[in-house]
Chains A and B, each alone.
Chain A
Amino acid sequence: AQSVTQPDIHITVSEGASLELRCNYSYGATPYLFWYVQSPGQGLQLLLKYFSGDTLVQGIKGFEAEFKRSQSSFNLRKPSVHWSDAAEYFCAVGGPEYNFNKFYFGSGTKLNVKP
């Protein structure tokens, strides 16, 4: 079955430190990959997406992600975390190999930011 794995349920980093959130998907030659963020009381906001081409994609709020086909991974990174980045982050996969418009999500990673 299709699945997305986010192995870290909770992560705590200090403000100003770098961040990497992990995401692995189960299969697909041409996955469409997404990272969403949910701040308290807010909806899911799209941070960035990868469809094809350059495997390093830039998103909003200073985030980037790198698609590594050999590792079936799409890890999210930020060089310097701000307190406002505390939220829950979701990785998702979709695309033509995944029943078209249906997205498959990971379980989410909650990010805490220490002052």
Chain B
Amino acid sequence: EAGVTQFPSHSVIEKGQTVTLRCDPISGHDNLYWYRRVMGKEIKFLLHFVKESKQDESGMPNNRFLAERTGGTYSTLKVQPAELEDSGVYFCASSPKDGRVYEQYFGPGTRLTVT
């Protein structure tokens, strides 16, 4: 079983530019989550999809962040325009819909550097 994959692994952009991060969850997992870790601090929840619907986006920092999950498969997280404080590691996770819903499987993360 392939794990959660994320692309790119690392992105360096200038302030004001746009970046799109992609996450491919484990096949068959209805739940998809985005988290972010900024400057060695705690990993913080951004949002949660159930299939293609946003279940909880309470952690999204502001309207410069847009997450989509078309067709309920892969998800993208777009930052437009990027600011310096957006730098960090963005993790994606997925979990099944059955009794193991609380077992979140994480990808390797995308390290975003905004200069």
In the complex, which residues of chain A have a beta carbon less than 8 angstroms from the beta carbon of B109?
43
Interface string of B19-30 (1 = CB under 8 A from A): 000000000000
Verify A101–B42 contact, CB threshold 8 A.
Answer: no
Interface size of B as a range: 20 to 34
In the docked arrangement, what's the CA distance between A103 and B91, Å? 12
Verify A43–B31 contact, CB threshold 8 A.
Answer: no
Q: Among residues 71 to 115 in chain B, which have CB atoms less than 8 Å away from a CB atom of chain A? A: 91, 93, 95, 101-109
In the complex, which residues of chain B have a beta carbon less than 8 angstroms from the beta carbon of A51?
102
Residue A41 interfacial (CB < 8 Å) = yes
Q: Among residues 94 to 111 in chain A, which have CB atoms less than 8 Å away from a CB atom of chain B? A: 94-95, 99-108
Residue A46 interfacial (CB < 8 Å) = yes
Verify A105–B95 contact, CB threshold 8 A.
Answer: no
Q: Shortest Cβ distance from A60 into chain B, in angstroms?
A: 13
In the docked arrangement, what's the CA distance between A41 and B91, Å? 13
Verify B102–A32 contact, CB threshold 8 A.
Answer: yes
How many residues of chain A are within 8 Å of chain B by beta carbon?
25
Q: Shortest Cβ distance from A65 into chain B, in angstroms?
A: 16
In the complex, which residues of chain B have a beta carbon less than 8 angstroms from the beta carbon of A63?
none
Closest chain A residue to B109, Cβ basis: A43
- Identify A107's interface contact among B41, B59, B105, CB under 8 A: B41
In the docked arrangement, what's the CA distance between A95 and B42, Å? 18
Q: Shortest Cβ distance from A50 into chain B, in angstroms?
A: 11
Q: Among residues 39 to 56 in chain A, which have CB atoms less than 8 Å away from a CB atom of chain B? A: 41-46, 49, 51
Known: A43-B91, A43-B107, A46-B105. A103 touches B3 (CB 8 A): no
Closest chain B residue to A45, Cβ basis: B106
Residue A90 interfacial (CB < 8 Å) = yes
Closest chain A residue to B100, Cβ basis: A49
Chain B positions near chain A (C-beta within 8 angstroms): 3-4, 31, 33, 35, 40-45, 48, 55-56, 58-59, 91, 93, 95, 101-109
Pairs of residues from A and B, 7 with the lowest C-beta to C-beta distance, nearest first: A44-B106, A105-B43, A43-B108, A107-B42, A43-B106, A102-B45, A105-B42
Q: Can you list 5 A-B pairs with a CB-CB distance of less than 8 A? A: A94-B102, A103-B35, A104-B45, A107-B40, A108-B42
